[in-house]
A and B are shown apart, each in its own frame.
Chain A
Amino acid sequence: MKEVKNILLVGVGGQGTILASKILSMGLLEAGYDVKMSEIHGMSQRGGNVSTQIRFGEKVYSPIIGKGEADVIVAFEKMEALRWIEYLKEGGKMVINDFEIPSVPILMGAAKYPQGILADLTAKANVSVFEASTIAEQIGNSKTMNIVLLGALVKAMNIPGIDWEVVIRANVKKGFEDINIRAFQEGMKQV
């Protein structure tokens, strides 16, 4: 594949974007792609936003992408989808977790969480929306939300020839392999 593909995962510190990015990158690397992955975070542990970018192809130069270049964006949180929409390529896909995490100005009552995000983004781009957190809870572990979203991402990317379940087993916490595989499979069904 000559053309470089760009994936962007955006969310809030603590949502598990980094593990999902790691599994994705490992799978792509083992499949023979050149891969670069960047975490963009300031002080994320302290409530800031987090994004990880994964670029893969025959040869990748820049570790980070520019605006209008993402083939797929996975937003782990709704307002983050809004924040990063201008990074989506024309014709790119966006997967949105229907989940709100208010930021500090909103918590303090100094600002309002924007209303109508999903309607606005759905009208402008190719968007899949679902409640990954609800699915993760139904499976029995709310922390698997990131793997549910990874499943949806892998489906949206449509890259054949990678045994994702093997990669997931090798990279999640011991004893939690099966539940993560279930989360992945449920996520695949959402796109």
Chain B
Amino acid sequence: MKQKHLMTGNEAVARGAYEAGLNFASAYPGTPSTEILENLVLYKDSLYCEWAPNEKVALEATIGASIAGVRSLATMKHVGVNVAADPLFTFAYTGVGGGCILVSADDPGMHSSQNEQDNRNYATAARLLMLEPSNSQEAKDFTKIGFELSEKFDTPVLLRMTTRICHSKSAVTFEDRVEKTAKPYEKNIKKYVATPANGKVMRRNLVGRLAAMEEYSNNTELNVEEMNGSEVGVISSGVAYQYAREVFGDDASYLKLGMTFPMPMEKIKAFAAKVKKLYIVEEMDPYMERQIREAGIECIGKAVIPEYDELNTDIVRKGVFGTEAPTLKSDLDAVVRPPAMCAGCPHRGFFYALSKKKNVMITGDIGCYTLGSAAPLNAMDTCICMGGSISTGHGASKAFGITGADTKVVSVIGDSTFFHSGVNSLMDVAYNKGNNVTVILDNRITGMTGHQQNPGTGYTLMGDATGEVDIPLLCQAIGIKKENIYIVNPLKLDEVDHALDEALGKDEACVIITKWPCILKKFSQQDKNDFDLKPKKCVIDQDKCRKCKLCAKTGCPAIYVGETITINADSCTGCGVCVQVCPFDAISEVK
């Protein structure tokens, strides 16, 4: 028997891509997709992979590699596909050179996302062949099959995963890598230059390709029937199949779909004819149900299965059978355990100073620093999407100018998010004479997703040293005046305060760059040279402490307000923000 490896779906996709002879991969990190490239780089002797500044760039680079003739892969979270949607739709027209897969990792239940959109809809909208694995073995197998189908049908393949498939571990068996000879590159203007004239032909071809893919979908083993009786039939896909299979048990019959675009409608019709009652069990949108109903087949789906949140066996069981397992209840309530900025987080000092400013609207962005919106700091008014803080802030400050409100706008963005798409927004501010204050929180790494390199860190995914973006110089090049760019240490409250006051006092675009590494980061030699990162501790002198709790108002999880106020020495990193906040000099730094 082959050795079984316990792997997450993400690890399995990486393994599958490696075995399939993949040569090129590009991605922007985003939960729950990040670990695919982090695992793919373990095979870096055999392939090349990189972090791109954003998902659109990642997909475009992947398209280029495919056209040049090699198997290529782009991975991203669901909202990242929105960013990459422009090239995606046209890539479906041109088709591929080497096989090409886009992994969309959706996040039902929003474990770590701003929305829970169902990206299966992209397959229908752009007409992409779609595969949905339901465990780690399938994640690996479908990746390999995906490259073959991409080449067979001359189409990009959407490998649609969800958090539970990405992050759950199950057994996987390995095969060896099979090297793929690159397709020799041939210039083909009619295929790859999407002018209107060429596009019209491509569009017609796309319809023909769809018919061929649908025929395949009706015949492939990826869509498999399990007949156990004629009373109840269930159609499902992805992790929802696992919940359904468990809840309906051995008495129901199943049509498990691994290929969900184009849908195997003939197979579905045949299955529906064999059962008296047909259920469709799917997470989020009624994606399959809509198409099945359109084909004139009666079924029960969203009438009993919620259209929102992550599913589980409880929800499916309650929806279908109305039953719940008996549970034990306590008379006590557990206090919530919300995430918080870490002890020693460089964002804390900045947000503390910002939270004291009156009459400001704070437009935020996607990253750890979105936690600046949480109590006790409450220092954020909006958070919409990656890179949106600066442009949202620009629009808001223009509107305040029109309405005559004297509210100033501060736009807060992380280094990686600034590179992602904040640069364009800042260009808008400079170009259109905006006056919102942009704050770039440069913590020398992509923090939120677990420390990926980015164009500002000086290292690549492959581990090579490289040039880094000079943020102040970039801002100047965009059109921000040199005297309006402030570089501060976010742990020094005076510095932050002074810069904020000056910038808020000016009627032109200003940029404040706070520069200090993420406390959880593995410090590079460069970090050690540039910053004083020696570990320190802060302690409270109980004789001097008057229990005013101002230190706790910084929201530091190392500070405990009990009978006395104390600092947990295990979690304190000696950042010194509490020392500066204490009005009674009761807190001091110790070695």
Report which A residues bind B (CB closer than 8 A): 12, 22, 25-26, 29, 34-49, 60-69, 79-80, 82-83, 85-90, 102-114, 116-117, 120-121, 124-125
**Of the 9-residue stretches B309-317, B413-421, B504-512, which lies at the interface with chain A?**
B309-317
Q: Which residue of A lies closest to B9 (CB)?
A: A63
A-B contact pairs, 29 of them (CB 8 A): A34-B170, A35-B6, A36-B135, A36-B170, A37-B6, A38-B169, A42-B112, A45-B520, A46-B341, A47-B340, A47-B342, A61-B246, A62-B242, A62-B312, A62-B313, A63-B239, A64-B312, A68-B325, A69-B313, A69-B325, A86-B327, A104-B555, A107-B552, A107-B560, A108-B561, A109-B561, A116-B332, A120-B330, A124-B330
User: Is chain B's interface secondary structure helix, strand, loop, or mixed overall?
Assistant: loop
B557 in contact with A104 (CB, 8 Å): yes
Given contacts A25-B169, A64-B168, A66-B313, contact A46 B339 (CB under 8 A): yes
B557 in contact with A85 (CB, 8 Å): no
With contacts A41-B111, A83-B334 known, what are 12 further pairs, Cβ within 8 A? Answer: A47-B339, A63-B164, A63-B168, A64-B312, A66-B312, A66-B325, A80-B334, A82-B332, A107-B559, A107-B560, A107-B561, A124-B328
- Assembly CA distance A109 to B329 (angstroms): 26
CB distance from B443 to the nearest CB of A (A): 14
Q: Which residue of A lies closest to B451 (CB)?
A: A45
A47 in contact with B557 (CB, 8 Å): yes
Chain B residues whose C-beta falls within 8 Å of the C-beta of A109 in the assembled complex? 549, 552, 561
Chain A residues whose C-beta falls within 8 Å of the C-beta of B196 in the assembled complex? none
Question: Top 3 nearest A-B pairs by Cβ distance?
Answer: A68-B325, A66-B314, A109-B561
Within 8 A of A (CB), among B544-583: 549, 552, 555, 557, 559-561
Chain A residues whose C-beta falls within 8 Å of the C-beta of B450 in the assembled complex? 45
CB distance from B566 to the nearest CB of A (A): 10
A63 in contact with B313 (CB, 8 Å): no
Chain A residues whose C-beta falls within 8 Å of the C-beta of B312 in the assembled complex? 62, 64, 66
- Assembly CA distance A171 to B358 (angstroms): 53
- Assembly CA distance A77 to B402 (angstroms): 54
Chain A residues whose C-beta falls within 8 Å of the C-beta of B502 in the assembled complex? none
CB distance from B212 to the nearest CB of A (A): 33
Within 8 A of A (CB), among B334-354: 334-342
B120 within 8 A of A: no
A85 in contact with B342 (CB, 8 Å): no
B245 within 8 A of A: yes
Within 8 A of A (CB), among B239-253: 239, 242-243, 245-246
B171 in contact with A35 (CB, 8 Å): yes
- Assembly CA distance A64 to B169 (angstroms): 11
Q: Which residue of B lies closest to A89 (CB)?
A: B325
B239 in contact with A68 (CB, 8 Å): no
Within 8 A of A (CB), among B162-190: 164, 167-171
B27 within 8 A of A: no
- Assembly CA distance A36 to B328 (angstroms): 25
- Assembly CA distance A112 to B333 (angstroms): 10
Given contacts A12-B337, A109-B549, contact A120 B242 (CB under 8 A): no
CB distance from B392 to the nearest CB of A (A): 23
Chain A residues whose C-beta falls within 8 Å of the C-beta of B245 in the assembled complex? 61-62
CB distance from A5 to the nearest CB of B (A): 14
CB distance from A77 to the nearest CB of B (A): 9
Chain A residues whose C-beta falls within 8 Å of the C-beta of B325 in the assembled complex? 66-69, 89
B376 within 8 A of A: yes
- Of the candidates A29, A63, A79, A89, the one having the most CB atoms from chain B within 10 angstroms of its own CB is A63
B381 within 8 A of A: no
- Of the candidates B239, B330, B333, B448, the one having the most CB atoms from chain A within 10 angstroms of its own CB is B330
- Assembly CA distance A83 to B328 (angstroms): 11
Q: Out of B324, B333, B337, name the residue touching A67 (CB < 8 Å).
A: B324
Chain B residues whose C-beta falls within 8 Å of the C-beta of A22 in the assembled complex? 6
